[in-house]
Structure 1
């Protein structure tokens, strides 16, 4: 066996390292005894049993676990902005004749208003009647009120014909019903239906005009109606009665119609018209 082979075997067996170490220790003891200069007879050395010490396998070293890096704390997401609550859409205005009539009757203290009002096309009739009235004309086909049940009456005296007071009384029920409606309530109702009224007015009137102004013009024309003393003389031309006094007959058709309601009724109607005008001009 070569030296190389020997070195290779030693390196391969751990027990060889222990035997070599024991042999070196024995040799050193022998040398120490021989060269100590002792005069006594040397005693043969007893073999010394050297225990074989095996080093325990090193305990595995447990490396401390690395301290985890603190997680990055992100700021909380901003709370989402609440979506705006949409405002409820206003309910459409009921412009049917039944609804308009019910609304008007609801304002009056006298339920007889329902009996006097027509049943169809109320808003259009109002617009057309007002526009004609502002033009000092009478829209006979667009009346808002039904004609009185009693007929126009006259009486004869001294060979002349005079308007009978019963002819004025035919309108008392209408006037009292209108007077029972507060002007403020009437204007509030007018504002409710004003968008529809403006649409109708745009169809029949001057689009550059404001209906409020036309309404004031119509009211002013009625307020300009003169008050005349009674009894009032009339005559007939076989078709209709006319005023005997030319200054009265020359008045416009709306003004003459207002005169036919009688002096007392006309004063009540004028007072209501002045209240409405004052509110419109505020």
Structure 2
């Protein structure tokens, strides 16, 4: 058995759409309050200016009457009700690519996470990738994660080609990143950015449809990917590699991409998918 480094890829799918769906690349942002409300000063009551013409006796009677009247007014004054301060207005969510990427990287406990994400149009890419995955396709021009640097590899045995285990290992850093993210935190990210996602989806899909249903369809479709033991045989048509098993080759593009991550990676990805699915329900 000999190893062979092959420059032909199975297909330029480039990235794992399943990880895009799991990670829910939508940036983490903590809502903060606006400026404190200004204090309203209490109105000042000007004291009456005494008339200089009034004599001492009349002035004394006026003063006594004023004191007596003030005492009665104080007894009859209504209770002062303290009004609660107005609620601070939250600052708008920062949907810039820099904020989204920085927040997602901060969520992952994996040092290579920064190198795995693209730098532009992250929210729109996520929506397009998820919508395509729900429709059993892959949006190759809207990848959210950069492609693996290593080439796809096969080995030959008995005049047949099989996927080399090194090809599976190319995806391990992606899966490690996914595993390092807490499911509860992923759902929190999704809920915070759901209004922005809804607006984007309204432009490319059904504006009356809840994007969560689209996300669930994509997850369910990926979970339906069959388990396949190794070695996995492939064939080449001089352009790309295909699965030798017609049953596998007839799967959707996104399911075949999941298969190409290898049995162990697929097991870990599916476990995270189930956690996300349960949390969304």
Same-fold call, TM > 0.5?
A: yes
Alpha-carbon distance between aligned partners in 1 of 2:247 and 2:160, rounded to the nearest angstrom: 18
CA apart distance, 1:188: 0.8
Q: Is 1:187 paired with 2:187?
A: yes
Q: Secondary structure at the match of 1:151?
A: coil
Aligned to 2:73: 75
Q: Secondary structure at the match of 1:142?
A: coil
**Matches of residues 16-95 of structure 1 in structure 2 within 5 Å?**
71=65, 73=69, 75-76=73-74, 78=78, 84-95=84-95
**CA deviation map 1:54-99 (0-9, x unaligned):** xxxxxxxxxxx9xx79848363454765565222111111111111
Q: Secondary structure at the match of 2:156?
A: strand
Alpha-carbon distance between aligned partners in 1 of 2:169 and 2:127, rounded to the nearest angstrom: 28
Aligned to 1:139: 139
Aligned to 2:101: 101
The gaps in structure 1 that reach 5 residues or longer are 1-64
CA apart distance, 1:119: 0.6
Which aligned runs of 4 or more in structure 1 are off by greater than 4 angstroms? Answer: 68-72, 76-84
Alpha-carbon distance between aligned partners in 2 of 1:254 and 1:170, rounded to the nearest angstrom: 17
The gaps in structure 2 that reach 5 residues or longer are 1-57
Higher mean displacement: 255-264 or 183-192: 183-192
Q: Secondary structure at the match of 1:234?
A: strand
Aligned to 1:35: none
Aligned to 2:275: 275
Which is greater in Rg?
1
Alpha-carbon distance between aligned partners in 1 of 2:153 and 2:221, rounded to the nearest angstrom: 27
Aligned to 2:22: none
CA apart distance, 1:108: 1.1
Alpha-carbon distance between aligned partners in 2 of 1:219 and 1:232, rounded to the nearest angstrom: 24
**TM-score (structure 2 length as normaliser):** 0.72
Aligned to 2:124: 124
- C-alpha RMSD over aligned residues: 1.9
Q: Is 1:170 paired with 2:188?
A: no
Across the two proteins, how many residue pairs are aligned to each other? 215
**TM-score (structure 1 length as normaliser):** 0.72
Q: Is 1:223 paired with 2:210?
A: no
